[in-house]
Amino acid sequence: MAEQTLPNREGQTVPDVAFRIRRNGEWATVTTDDLFRGKNVIVFSLPGAFTPTCSSTHLPRYNELAPVFRNQGIDSIVCVAVNDPFVMEEWGKDQEAENVLLLPDGNGAFTEAMGLLVDKSDLNFGKRSWRYSMLVRDRKIEKMFLEPQKPGDPFEVSDADTMLRYLDPAAKVPEPIAILTREGCSFCAQAKKMLSEAGYDYAEIPLPHTIRSKALGAIAGAQTVPQVFVGGRLIGGSEELARYLVEQRSV
């Protein structure tokens, strides 16, 4: 990155920019007013779609914590990158990031107006955005988390958890839930229904019959499905899950 002082724009309004985007396979235009006027919005910006940190951590965690942010009064979460609309559209599909608006700043107009367009020619990227996040209330930037000016691509303060701690240090983050299942299992269907009715999001891991027995034994020390894990802890099958959910309601 060329030597330059990257500005913190807290207290200022977001730049007036019109973005050309792809929506349901068609062209559309959204403006700064469309995105921010009268709304509480979290924005995070990153160097590029499909890049390692952006795909493995930065975008997925904001997408995962979106329900928690909504409980904090956040209307939307926007991810900005200096990429073209087609790339951003495909990245969103690949990441299954339905809780985040992926905003292509293809010409770098928004990022340049923010003073955060940097030269990443050493990576063959050309001009891209420096990594940051910000909280915008009715177009005014209340808080910015700007990554430190270090070589490479630092990722220390613009993450979703840092933003959540700023909004509410006591905010409760739901533990991740995963459930091992098999096709046609009525107990698995019952367990998934219980989780959904209790308002829990979960990741389902269907096990093919060729590896099911070994996988269940190695992972859960069990031979039957479902097997439910919460925050890395084995809860057990559908009966154990039912007891766990009752206990959680009493907490």
The domain that contains 112 carries what CATH number? 3.40.30.10
Cβ atoms of 228 and 243 within 8 Å: the answer is no
Shared domain check, 192 and 159? no
Shared domain check, 118 and 194? no
127 bridge partner residues? 119
Shared domain check, 53 and 152? yes
Report CA Rg, the chain. 21
Shared domain check, 110 and 67? yes
Report d(CA 34, CA 102) in Å as an integer.
14
Share of the chain above pLDDT 70, in %: 98
pLDDT in tens, 202-245: 999 999 999 999 999 999 999 999 999 999 999 999 999 999 99
Cβ atoms of 47 and 81 within 8 Å: the answer is yes
Report d(CA 209, CA 101) in Å as an integer.
38
**Paired tokens of 49:** 């779609």
CA distances from 243 to 132, 184, 195, 235, 249 (A): 42, 23, 12, 9, 10
* Count of CA atoms in the C-beta half-sphere (13 A) of 91: 25
Quick check: is 79 catalytic?
Answer: no
Q: Tokens 């700064």 belong to which residue?
A: 32
Residue 109 CB neighbour total at 10 angstroms: 16
> Which residue among 167, 196, 217 closes a domain?
167
Closest CA to 42 of 110, 111, 112, 100: 100
Q: Is residue 5 part of a domain?
A: no
Q: For 89, left (φ over 0), alpha (ψ -120 to 50), or beta?
A: alpha
Q: Which of 54, 79, 185, 188 is catalytic?
A: 54
What number is the average pLDDT over the span 77-90? 95
Q: Is residue 42 part of a domain?
A: yes
Cβ atoms of 130 and 116 within 8 Å: the answer is yes
Residue 137 CB neighbour total at 10 angstroms: 16
Number of structural domains the chain divides into: 2
Shared domain check, 190 and 163? no
Cβ atoms of 176 and 151 within 8 Å: the answer is no
The residue segments making up the domain with residue 207 are 177-250
Q: Is residue 104 part of a domain?
A: yes
Average pLDDT, the chain: 94
pLDDT at 152: 82
CA distances from 245 to 191, 196, 204, 219, 230 (A): 11, 11, 18, 22, 11
> Which residue among 118, 147, 167 closes a domain?
167
Shared domain check, 78 and 99? yes
Per-residue pLDDT for 251 more than 80?
no
Shared domain check, 188 and 110? no
Shared domain check, 94 and 32? yes
pLDDT at 2: 44
Q: What is the DSSP letter of 122?
A: G
pLDDT at 3: 57
Shared domain check, 237 and 143? no
Shared domain check, 189 and 139? no
pLDDT at 124: 75
